[in-house]
Amino acid sequence: MKEMGKDGGGYMADVRLTELVRSSGCNAKLPPGDLHDVLGSLPLASDPRLFGGYEKSDDACVYDLGDGRVLIETVDFFPPMVDDPFTFGEIAAANALSDIYAMGGSPDVALSLMCFPSCLDLSVMRSIMLGAMEKAKEAGCVIAGGHTISDREPKFGLSVTAIENKDSVWTNSGAMEGDCLVLTKRLGVGVMMTAHKGGETEATDAIESMRILNKRARDIARGLTVHAATDVTGFSLLGHAYEMADGSDATACISLSSLSFFPEAPELARFGFLPEGRYTNEDYLCDKVMFAPQVEKVYKDLLFSPETSGGLLLAMPEKDAALFIDEFGEPARVIGHIERKSGSRVIVSC
C-alpha cells in the first residue's frame, strides 16, 4: 500500500476491501445454533411495553409508546462483500433498513456504526458514508450521527428507528394455514459473492439486487393482508422460513421449481463456491427441514447459504398474494404455502 501525506489521514486504498476481511456480508453472522444457545440462556425482558423482542426471532424489537404508536428498533452491520466503498455503504444501509420494512414500518432516523482500519485512507470512510446516506435518503430516513472505532477489519451498518401505529406492525409469527409464501428477490447472493471474492464472476446482478431497498415491496404489501413477514438474510431462506413457521406453529412448504435464482448461482455452487455460513446454517436446521428425495445437493447448498440484503418473505392469503405479484412483477414469486403443523417445520418439494 502507498503511504499518503499527513493531510491524507492514512494510506492509499490500493487493496480490495474484501481482502481485508475473513468473512463478508451476512455470512459473517454468528452461527444460528450458537446464537440461539446464548439468547435462550438469557432472562426474558419483562417490560410490558416491549411486545416484540429477541426471544421471538422478529427482525426488530417493538416498544409501545402508550399512545397508539410504537418504536421499531433494529441494528445490523457487517464486513464488506464488495470492493467499492460507496456500493458497500449502499448495501449495508439497504440491509439494515430492510429489518424495518420486514416489520411493516417506514424508517425515520438512523445512527451509523463504523469499524475502520488505520491502514485505509479516510476517503474510503467518506465514500462508505456517502453510499449509506444516499440509500437512507431514498428510504426517507436521515442518518443523524453514529459511532466509529479503529479495527483491523472494516465493518459498517446502521441502527434504525421507525415510529408506527401499533396496529400496522407485522411480525414473523402470524402465518395461517392456506397462506401463500411470497418472496420478492432472487436467491444465491452468498454463493455469487463467494465466487466474486475469488475473482470468478462480476456478480453484477447480485450486487444490484443487494442495493435495492425493500421499500417498494413493503409499500405494495401494506395495502394488502399480510399475516406474517420477515426478510431473508444470513440464516438463509430455510432458516428464516423456519423461524416464521415455528413462530406461527405451522409448517412452511416450499416448492423448489417456484424459486428464482441468479442464473450463475447453481453452476457456481456446483464448483464449490459455498460460503461458510451454508454449513453452520445446515448444522442448526438439519432436523427442522425435510427435503424431497429428488432435491439435488446443489439446491440444498443454495437454500442453506446466507443471503445479504435479501427479499421480503410474506405470508399472505392467496388472493392478496396474486394481487401483490401482479403489481410488483418479477422477481417476486409465490414460492410455497403454509400448512397445518406436521413433523417438519419446513418441507422442500421439487
In angstroms, rounded to a whole number, what is the distance separating the alpha carbons of residues 61 and 100? 10
- Residues 350, 59, 171, 343: is their CA dihedral positive or negative? positive
- Residues 256, 259, 263, 266: is their CA dihedral positive or negative? negative
Q: Which of 26, 141, 180, 253 is catalytic?
A: 26
Note if the bond before 85 is cis, omega within 30 degrees.
no
In angstroms, rounded to a whole number, what is the distance separating the alpha carbons of residues 254 and 80? 31
Tell me which H or E stretch contains 142: strand 142-150
In angstroms, rounded to a whole number, what is the distance separating the alpha carbons of residues 243 and 345? 9
Residue 149, strand partner residues: 115
In angstroms, rounded to a whole number, what is the distance separating the alpha carbons of residues 106 and 93? 14
In angstroms, rounded to a whole number, what is the distance separating the alpha carbons of residues 9 and 120? 8
180 catalytic per annotation: no
Closest by CA position to 114, among listed 139, 135, 132, 137: 132
Q: List active site positions.
A: 26
